[in-house]
Copies of this chain bind each other. A is one copy, B any other.
Amino acid sequence: MELYHGPLDVKSIFNRWLDEHAASNYGAFIPFVGIIREEDDIEALSFDIYEPILQKWFDAWQEKAMQRGAIVKMAHAIGDVPVHTSSYVSAVFSPKRRVALELIEEFVEDFKANAPIWKYDVKKGKRIYAGDRSTPMEGAGLLK
């Protein structure tokens, strides 16, 4: 798992992951690249991350992937990420196509729902919590 301040250098991350596994004998590699869309007059999105729990979430996924013979990779931005740049890259390497297609979907969707990352719109230099696009994590409301 890799965290960066500011936008991701997608090409170098992708190229490095490919090099790392050039001889690992995986048959399928599926990256997912998330790019900040220009919409609603935002200049950027901005992210807070709570790393200890994100790392545990990721490690549990790595375990799950390995049980299916695959591995997962992930990079995410911290702080401001301008429109048309990337905040998030994840990937699956797997011996087989089917497992890779299933895993990338499950991994990305679970990431959206349960990775401890908070998103803000940046408008005129101000950070506004994207509460309406956010999802309560599993078990939310315990203290209510």
Interface residues of chain A, those whose CB is within 8 Å of chain B, are 10-11, 14-15, 18, 22-23, 25-39, 84, 95, 97, 100-101, 104-105, 108-109, 112
Tell whether, in the assembled complex, residue A34 and residue B25 are in contact, meaning their CB atoms are under 8 Å apart: no
A-B contact pairs, 11 of them (CB 8 A): A26-B37, A27-B35, A27-B37, A28-B32, A28-B33, A29-B35, A30-B31, A30-B32, A30-B104, A32-B100, A32-B101
How many copies of this chain are found per oligomer? 2
Contact flag A34-B28 (CB < 8 Å), given A10-B18, A108-B97, A108-B101: yes
In the assembled complex, the Cα of A108 lies from the Cα of B105 at a distance in Å of 14
- In the bound complex, residues from chain B placing their C-beta under 8 Å from that of A35 are 26-29
| Besides A28-B35, A30-B30, A101-B109, 13 other A-B contacts (C-beta < 8 A) | A11-B11, A15-B15, A25-B38, A27-B35, A27-B37, A28-B33, A29-B32, A29-B33, A30-B33, A32-B97, A32-B101, A37-B95, A101-B108
Select which of B11, B22, B36, B101 is within 8 A of A84 by beta carbon: B22
- In the bound complex, residues from chain B placing their C-beta under 8 Å from that of A18 are 10-11, 33
- In the bound complex, residues from chain B placing their C-beta under 8 Å from that of A23 are 84
Shortest 9 CB-CB distances between A and B: which pairs? A29-B33, A27-B37, A101-B105, A11-B15, A30-B32, A25-B38, A25-B37, A27-B35, A31-B31
